[in-house]
Structures are given as C-alpha cells and as structure tokens.
C-alpha cells in the first residue's frame, strides 16, 4: 500500500547550518507530495508541495524535489534559523478516489543559536 517514511529525529543543528530531512515514499500511480510544518502547540501548515516528477517545491528558503526514480522528496534548507525549530511532516496524496493524505511520522528539528 501507500506509505511515507521519514528520517527519525530529533535533528539538532546550529543556526546557519544546512538542513536535510529525508523522505521516501511507496505509492501506486503518481501521487502529489507535500511537506507540512507544525510549530509547538499549533496545527499543521503547508510548507511546500510538488505534483509531478522533477517538480521542485519551494517556500521560505526550503526546497524539495520530487524524484520518481528514487521515490524521494527530501526537504532542504541552506541556512536554518532558530525560528525553523518545529516538527516537519512529509505526506503524499493517494491518487484516485477521494483526497486522502498519508503522513510520515514527523521529524523534529531543533536549531540552537
């Protein structure tokens, strides 16, 4: 079945470090892929998305490229800030039928000054 696997956290970085959070997926067909961010005590916010192979989603300095050959959608940022500390969720949409998102387990990022 469809599934999403994220790297386990927490990921701890110093400010201005390079960030990579790995995400791989298993799916039939051609799903859309998403990254959501959750700040402490809040709901999830859509960070970026890609809807077809080789698309690059970007927002707020974060980027992720839809790689069908490796079934991956890794999240990257060149220089993290303390304010980026949050939990990041990778997700895919199930194609066909109703719009059902399948989430990864989430990766906590902690950025220190």
Q: Give contact residues for another protein (rule: CB under 8 A).
A: 31-32, 34, 36, 41-46, 49, 51, 89, 91, 93-95, 98-101, 103-106, 108
CB of 24 to another protein, least distance (A): 16
CB of 11 to another protein, least distance (A): 14
Nearest to 60 by CA among 43, 36, 90: 36
Measured from the CB atom, the residue of 13 and 66 that comes closer to another protein is 66
Measured from the CB atom, the residue of 2 and 72 that comes closer to another protein is 2
Measured from the CB atom, the residue of 10 and 61 that comes closer to another protein is 10
CB of 82 to another protein, least distance (A): 20
């Amino acid at each position: 079945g469809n599934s999403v696997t994220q790297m386990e956290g927490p990921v701890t970085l110093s400010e201005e470090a390079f960030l990579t959070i790995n995400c791989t997926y298993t799916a039939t067909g051609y799903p859309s892929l998403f990254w959501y961010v959750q700040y402490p005590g809040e709901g999830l916010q859509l960070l970026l998305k890609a809807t077809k192979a080789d698309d690059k989603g970007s927002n707020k300095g974060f980027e992720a490229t839809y790689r069908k050959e490796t079934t991956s959608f890794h999240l990257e940022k060149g220089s993290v800030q303390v304010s980026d500390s949050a939990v990041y969720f990778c997700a895919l949409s199930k194609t066909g039928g109703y719009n059902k998102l399948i989430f990864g387990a989430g990766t906590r990022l902690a950025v220190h000054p």
